[in-house]
Amino acid sequence: MPDALRDDVYRRPLATALERLGVGPGWRCVDVGAGGGDVSVSLATMVGHSGRVYAVDSDPLARDVAAAAAAEHSQVLAITQAGEDLLLPEPVDLAFCRFLLLHVVDPAVVLARMAGAVRPGGWVVAQEPVTSAGRVAGTALSMPDARHPDIGAWLPALVRQVGLELVDAWAEAPAGCGPGAVAEYLASLTGVDPKDDPVVLPPLVTVLGRLPDQGVAGRSSVAARD
Ligand SMILES: C[S@@+](CC[C@H](N)C(=O)[O-])C[C@H]1O[C@@H](n2cnc3c(N)ncnc32)[C@H](O)[C@@H]1O
């Protein structure tokens, strides 16, 4: 999967969410299911050298790819770890995931782990698709390989289920017709060129969850922040 292309068509939801939070210099973040590291690199440019970004993925190959993508950003630490076992050396200000929860066995387990990784008052942000709400020439898309292809529809409830305050939630869907990034993305995803058929890519639901100041049980960081 070309992560750079995904970053292109789904760039706006990412930018919207990170700007909305006010991610800036000095922030500590974790990008869970980092894949090729595109989100990690975006975070790295925002947190600067005084910040830190943990790029976590269960696939050891992804760690190498993410580390290479972030080579110019010494604040990015690529780690091989399952989201279900998320354990960081310090609490973070932001735990983020995109296109991850649709693939894991139990999304609530991973989300709870992310909630346990942030400092009291910190943020958990997830961006996940509602695949069946995508359309090509009016026909619904499907993703049979994903465990939870419509997990985006459940995100707001999941955030509350794991003890986070649901601060905001919304959906955004790139759409287009004819040649361009949307058609290329769909072709890379499905192997089918939509040609001149109108395309609505799967909406990406963004949730902004905030850990209450008193935190939740089961923190997954091992050291208190100074
Ligand atoms: C579709 S890619 C998304 C990559 C990136 N987040 C993005 O938006 O471009 C999903 C990534 O999640 C990783 N992954 C799948 N299950 C995981 C798990 N249980 N824990 C951590 N990473 C996982 C995969 O190895 C893959 O790199």
For 129: left if phi > 0, alpha if psi spans -120 to 50, otherwise beta; the answer is: beta
CB 17, CB 123: distance < 8 Å: no
Both tokens assigned to 20:
């909305």
Q: Is the pLDDT of residue 225 over 70?
A: no
- For the cut 70, the answer to whether the pLDDT of residue 217 exceeds it is no
pLDDT for the residue 22: 95
- Which is the closest atom of ligand 1 to the Cα of 38? 9
Instruction: Determine the residue of 58, 84, 88, 96 to mutate for testing ligand 1's pocket, defined as the one with the most ligand atoms within 8 A of the Cβ atom.
Output: 58
**Per-residue model confidence as pLDDT tens digits over 94-146:** 999 999 999 999 999 999 999 999 999 999 999 999 999 999 999 999 999 99
Q: Count CB atoms within 10 A of the CB of residue 145.
A: 8
Residue type, 32: V
Cα 12 from Cα 226, distance rounded (Å): 34
Please give the distance, rounded to the nearest whole angstrom, from the Cα atom of residue 99 to the centre of ligand 1.
Answer: 7
Q: How far is CA 100 from the centre of its chain?
A: 6
Q: Which residues contact 10 (CB under 8 A, 6 or more apart)?
A: 98, 127, 174, 201, 204
CA of 35 to the centre of ligand 1 (A): 5
Nearest CA among 123, 129, 213 for reference residue 166? 123
Ligand 1 pocket mutation pick from 8, 103, 148, 189 by most atoms within 8 angstroms of CB: 103
What is the token pair recorded at 168?
């905001």
Quick one: which atom of ligand 1 is closest to the CA of 35?
27
Q: Is the pLDDT of residue 1 over 70?
A: no
Choice from 100, 106, 114, 127 to test ligand 1 binding pocket (greatest atom count within 8 A of CB): 100
pLDDT for position 211: 97
Q: What are phi and psi for residue 2, nearest 5 degrees? A: -75, 100
Calculate helix-pair angle for 60-69, 38-47, nearest 10 degrees. 40
- Rounded distance, CA 107 to CA 94, Å? 18
Is the CB of 66 inside a 6 Å radius of any atom of ligand 1?
Answer: no
Nearest atom, ligand 1, residue 1 CA = 1
CATH class for the domain made up of 3-210: alpha beta
The residue nearest atom 8 of ligand 1, judged by CA position, is 98
